[in-house]
Amino acid sequence: MHRQDWERLTRLFDEAAALPPDARPAFLARACPDEALRGELAALLAAHDRADDVLRPIERLTEASAGGSFAPGEQVGPYRLLDEIGRGGMGVVYRAEDTRLGRLVALKVLPPHLHAAIALRERFVNEARAVSALDHPNLCTLYEIGTHAGRLYLAMAYYEGETLQEKLARGPLPVPEALALARQMAEGLAAAHERGILHRDVKPANMIVTSGGCVKLLDFGLAKIAEVTQQLTAEGMTPGTAAYMSPERTRGEPADARADVWSFGVVLYEMLTGERPFPGDTAEVLFHAIRHDAPSPLTTRRPDVPGALAALVERLLAKDPAGRPASMREVARALAAFQADGDRRPRRRRAAILALGLLLLAAAAFFPYWQRVQADRARALLPEIERLAAAGAFAEAYALAERAGRHLGDDPALARLWPGITDVLTVASDPPGARVTVQRFDPGGAAQPVEVLGVTPLDGRRLPRGAYRLRLEKAGYAPHERVVSRFLFAPVIHVEHRLIPADSVPRGMVFVPGGRYRLRGWDVPDATPVDLGDYFIDRYEVSNRAFKAFIEAGGYRDTTYWRFPFVKDGRHLGRDEALAHFVDRTGLPGPRGWQNQTYPPGTADHPVTGVSWYEAAAYAAWAGKRLPTVHEWQRAARPDTTHPYGVVMPWGAMLPRENVARRANFNGHATVPVDTHPFGISPFGAYHMAGNAREWCANPMGSGFVAAGGAWEDPPYAFAYLGAFDGFYAASSLGFRCARSADPSAAPPVRPLPTNPPAPAYTPVDAATFEGFRTHYRYDPRPLDAEVVDVHESPDWRRETVTFTGAAGERLIAYLYLPRHTLPPYQTIVFSPPYPIYAGWYSIAEEVERSLAAHIRAGRAVLAVVPFGGLERPAPPDARFPDPRTVSYRNRAVQWALEHRRGLDYLATRDDIDSDRLAHLSFSAGGAKLLQPALEPRYRAILLTGAGLHPGDTLKVPEANPVHFLPRYAAPTLVLHGRYDEMDHLEVHVRPLMALLPEPKRLVVVESGHVPPADLRVPVIEAWLAETLGPVRR
């Protein structure tokens, strides 16, 4: 989560708060798919609703109605004002004379609404009474409270000195001085907490350091009233207050003494470093950092800070209150111990000097022994380093290796481990002198600090192995961001970048250097290289907010932006006839999913979708840009390389078992804001070029235009394919971004891409030969020894996790979903998942619950067997997908098929499953998955989505070649195909498959890409199941 997330959160809060409470849940579900962000928003709304009704009119008071200040010389009760010494959100502070006792006081006059609102006044008076009972040398003494001219005031002791804020403005404090002051603060807070009083606004501005070095804490209790009036939102919150708030308080959650503990930790960090741990210029930015970012390690910023003190500060700043010290008394004791240790050091010095001679003599004899002991201890760490490296915990392994290296030096055993746990980074920029920072990618989502590595040229910097977001900055030049990792750079990550003057880069765009480029990916239609000039491309997809500006500027009416002839189904259309297709749900010009030319609430920063190629081109012309060519788009989107064992994505190689959820929006439920997923950016700093919205490109292809990148509804490997869509086609998964040539006079030519070549002839073997192939898939019956090891209940289904014995004696894992709303025995869908499940990119249970939930709700059970290589059954780390021409590939296909068949054996043991009504359902059906239905006579129905035959299938080993298996299907087969499928083209890949299938069979074509969306897919599948299996039992 970052700054843009908080800006979006505040906008969503405003929209949701304006809705009736019963309408908010539906709005949140639609406008905020991110579960964590939705939870934060719900907390803010709850705090908003809990606020006293009396506060509503108070919020509307203007600064003018709050009243002005009193003037020096004026009498306020028994106090004569001398001069103003401070002013803040909760009032004005004066130095005043108590005319009764002749002493100086600090008089704080509070805003008039605290006196006008009865509830606030009573709450404030109660707080003040409790504070006045405190008697501690580190707490400011409160003499009395009173009223004057409709204003509440506080009379407090006046102290000569300066605030800690003023003191810190001169820089960090020496460690002994910081400890002395911090201990006093902790003692004062501990005394208040032990009387049940929280401060709630611990910050340097609320602490006086007297001329004698005594700390006095001010303003107890006032923060509680401020919280109520601000309703715990960022609105109205000053950065000076927000910077010290605990994570739970920023979320509007109830806070206890541990919130003061956190704020004290922020102050102590600032005392030691001179800077706050969480930087930011606005409350929104600070709130995001407080909740999600890790501060720079204290010992990195201040090496002379003792390690134990740094560890205490780290505990004080734990995001979870349970991880902080339990009380300020505990903190005070720890600081006292640190201080005492420091005080003892001078007293020890003389004895140490006297003993030094003896120690030196002893050390001469002892040092070799000590070295051996330390080396032995360091050597004992090597097995743990190896274990961590094998588990992929490279940062932890690196830390241990550095520790061991201090005593082992160039030890060969340690030297052997270094290459496996480190990356070596070299960075050069033109011009040199750019500041280099990196932030490590954590797959679990934990916030990692930003580390400054130095300035370019940077040569041979060693880092823990992993992926990093790298940033180059130099005054006067546009910053450059990208993600780097060893997977595409081994053995050295080498980055070179030409920096561009900031004033020459169009706003919101990134620079891409030209050069010779050819398309990469799977089944590219044209691999001929092209020469590209330098150009710029949008950093983000065009957003709903930006497209609305185009509409409001008359973009649909102005003919100058509509520069291309309209062609639909081979026929030229006039402008008015064409624009009649480009309307929203209310018939007004605009994206198909909008209403009244307005995007859905909460989606201003999502990519605009539901626009045709012609609308995208018109917007680009209006913006003074153009659509990128497919070569420009792909050059900006991905590294110009390949990888033997993974799919090359914008951030590098996507390897088996890598979950891309924190990198890109694939397999999602809807679009997300265009500025999210910073660790998925391209080599040139463009966001969401993989996933979120598929993007229009300028090039014609066939009868349509190219679209690239894959979308939120697709599997991740869709990024490697190019699709072609009719120019009038629009979908909730299809958007665009724009480009601009660095030299406006040198726009690139837009070459049409060829369509796929004709399909080869596929000739299956005869029946006798096929029976020989089938023998590879036979297995001896053996006991299943099935066991239900876990049960998960939900409103719509019961999910049982089952283990049973496979054909080769291995233990298999399966998920069985039993519907809630129908009666057993259940019809059952046996699911064959898409390729990412076999690669371990995510769980098969996740895929079932995302894609098949509607069928379970309709009353059908689902069985999903975890395949070898899946997330729950990982292949060995060195395993590679076998060459399809080899016996190894056949053996893998046999293994997967037998796993599938043993799942059917298990279903036969269940009384609640109707074994006569089983259906095979395969998503992204190709390759070895097409073999399974031919091996099983127990199916009553077969359904294939995203299926096709490819020329490469002719090369596969015959015993695992789908060409020979498709004619042997024994059940009625439905093939569901998206007309604009990027991977399986209707004429080239799908019709040859249909030709091999026996009757009965049916082909249904819908208006979609590779994975038809649920609203198109579910009705077709349900109708086929009802036709072949019959109605479910109600």
Residues 526 and 607 in one domain: yes
What's residue 223's pLDDT? 44
Residue 324 lies in a domain: yes
Contacting residues for 605 by C-beta, under 8 A, at least 6 apart: 4, 8, 543, 544, 545, 673, 674, 675
Residue 818 pLDDT grade (very low, low, confident, very high; cuts 50, 70, 90) = very high
Average pLDDT over residues 524-549: 93
Position 686 confidence tier, pLDDT thresholds 50, 70, 90: very high
pLDDT band for 51, please (50, 70, 90 cuts): very low
For the cut 70, the answer to whether the pLDDT of residue 405 exceeds it is yes
Same domain, yes or no: 139 and 228: no
Per-residue pLDDT at 67 exceeds 80: no
- The shares of helix, strand and coil residues in the chain, as percent rounded to the nearest 5, are 40, 20, 40
The residues, ordered by sequence, that sit 6+ positions from 771 with a Cβ below 8 Å of its Cβ are: none
What are the backbone angles phi and psi of residue 642, rounded to the nearest 5°? Answer: -130, 170
d(CA 949, CA 760): 10
Chain segment 696-707, per-residue pLDDT in tens: 999 999 889 999
Is 41 in the same domain as 122?
Answer: no
Nearest to 617 by CA among 542, 674, 688: 542
Q: Which helix (H) or strand (E) holds 496?
A: strand 492-498
| Assigned domain for 67 exists | no
CA 889 – CA 927 distance, rounded (Å)? 11
Of the two residues 731 and 836, the one the predictor is more confident about is: 731
Number of structural domains (the chain) is 6
Q: Is the pLDDT of residue 182 over 90?
A: yes
Beta bridge partners of 598: 595
CB burial class (10 A; 0-12, 13-18, 19+) of residue 219?
A: buried
pLDDT on residue 994:
96
Q: Does 959 lie in the same domain as 997? A: yes
Assess whether 168 and 140 both reside in one domain. no
Distance (Å, whole) CA 761 – CA 770:
19
Whether the per-residue pLDDT at 65 is higher than 50: the answer is no
Chain segment 585-624, per-residue pLDDT in tens: 999 999 999 999 999 998 999 999 999 999 999 999 999 9
| Band of residue 835 on the pLDDT scale cut at 50, 70, 90 | confident
pLDDT on residue 221: 52
Using DSSP, state whether 942 is helix, strand or coil: strand
**Is residue 99 in a domain?**
yes
Average pLDDT over residues 215-235: 54
Separation CA 702–CA 718 (nearest Å): 20
Is 897 a residue whose pLDDT tops 90?
A: yes
Q: Are 710 and 750 in contact (CB under 8 A)?
A: no
Amino acid identity at 610: G
Whether pLDDT at 42 is above 90: no
Mean per-residue pLDDT for 751-777?
90
Cα gap 703→564, rounded to integer Å: 15
Tell me, what DSSP letter sits at residue 952? G
CA distance 899 to 812: 7
Query: 43-47, 218-222, 382-386, 992-996: which has the minimum mean pLDDT?
Result: 43-47
Give yes or no: residues 462 and 588 share one domain.
no
Final residue before a domain boundary, out of 339, 362, 385 = 339
- Residue 950: predicted pLDDT: 87
**Looking at the domain assignment, is residue 377 inside a domain?**
no
User: What pTM was computed for the model?
Assistant: 0.65
- Average pLDDT for 846-870: 95
What is the mean pLDDT of the segment spanning 361-379? Answer: 67
Same domain, 910 and 957: yes
**What pLDDT does 669 receive?**
87
Residue 470, classed as helix, strand or coil, is: strand
Q: Are 984 and 1010 in contact (CB under 8 A)?
A: yes
Closest CA to 894 of 979, 807, 814: 807
Residue 796 clears pLDDT 90, i.e. is over it: yes
Question: DSSP letters along 725-754, please?
Answer: E-TT---TTEE---EEESSTT-PPP-PPBP
**Residue at 359 is within a domain:** no
What type of residue is 593? G
Task: Give me the DSSP letters along 155-179.
Answer: EEE---EEEHHHHHTT-PPPHHHHH
ω before 432 within 30° of 0 (cis)?
A: no
Does residue 327 share a domain with residue 471?
no
Instruction: Identify the residue with better confidence: 231 or 297.
Output: 297
Which pLDDT score is estimated for 886? 93
Confirm if 596 and 665 have CB atoms less than 8 A apart: no
For residues 297 and 449, the answer to whether their CB atoms sit within 8 Å is yes
User: Which pLDDT score, from 0 to 100, does residue 490 have?
Assistant: 58
| CATH code for position 915 | 3.40.50.1820
Which neighbouring-strand residues pair with 838? none
Choice among 218-222, 333-337, 457-461, 967-971 with the minimum mean pLDDT: 218-222
3-state class (DSSP) for residue 312: helix
Any idea what DSSP says for residue 140? P
Cβ burial 198-215 (10 Å sphere, 16+ → b, else e): bbbbbbbbbbbbeeeeeb
Same domain, residue pair 316 and 450: no
98 has catalytic annotation: no
| CA distances (Å), origin 938, targets 718, 828, 905, 916 | 33, 12, 10, 7
- In this structure, is residue 135 part of a structural domain? yes
* Claim to verify: residue 151 and residue 165 sit in the same structural domain: no
pLDDT, residue 50, reads 42
Q: Which of 5, 98, 201, 714 is catalytic?
A: 201
Gap between the Cα atoms of 602 and 545, Å rounded:
11
Which among 157, 190, 223 is the end of a domain? 157
The pLDDT score that the predictor gives to residue 289 is 80
Which amino acid is residue 495, in one-letter code? V
Mean of pLDDT over the chain: 85
714: CATH: 3.90.1580.10
pLDDT tier at 374 (50, 70, 90 boundaries)?
confident
Where is average pLDDT lowest: 229-233, 538-542, 731-735, 839-843? 229-233
Rounded alpha-carbon distances, angstroms, from residue 472 to 53, 458, 674? 51, 11, 22
Say what the pLDDT of residue 237 is.
Answer: 43
Q: Is residue 961 part of a domain?
A: yes
> pLDDT tens-digit profile of 650-666?
988 776 667 788 899 99
Bridging pattern class, strands 530-532 and 571-573:
unpaired
* Residue 713 Rama label (left phi>0; alpha psi -120 to 50; beta): alpha
On whether the CB atoms of residues 119 and 255 are closer than 8 A, the answer is no
Structure tokens at 753: 């891409």
Confidence bin at 780 (pLDDT 50/70/90): very high
The H or E element spanning position 818 is: strand 811-819
User: What is the CATH number for 81?
Assistant: 3.30.200.20
Q: Residue 362 has what pLDDT?
A: 56
In a domain, 756, yes or no: no
pLDDT of residue 551: 96
3 or 421: which leads in pLDDT: 421
Question: Would you state the pLDDT for residue 962?
Answer: 95
Residue 552 near residue 559, CB atoms below 8 Å: no
- Please tell me the distance from the alpha carbon of residue 148 to that of residue 109, in angstroms, as a whole number: 9
Is residue 935 within 8 Å of 774, Cβ to Cβ?
Answer: yes
Closest Cα partner for 736 from 596, 623, 650?
Answer: 623
Q: Is the pLDDT of residue 563 over 50?
A: yes
* pLDDT value of residue 63: 34
Count of Cβ atoms closer than 10 Å to residue 21 Cβ: 10
Confidence (pLDDT) at 488: 55
On whether both 214 and 277 belong to a single domain, the answer is: yes
Statement to judge: residues 242 and 219 lie in one domain: yes
Which one of 157, 179, 204 terminates a domain?
157
Domain ranges, residue 453: 400-503
- Alpha-carbon distance of 157 to 101, in angstroms, equals 13
Q: Tell me what pLDDT residue 57 has.
A: 29
**Which whole number is the average pLDDT over 230-250?**
63
Which is more confidently placed, 228 or 470?
470
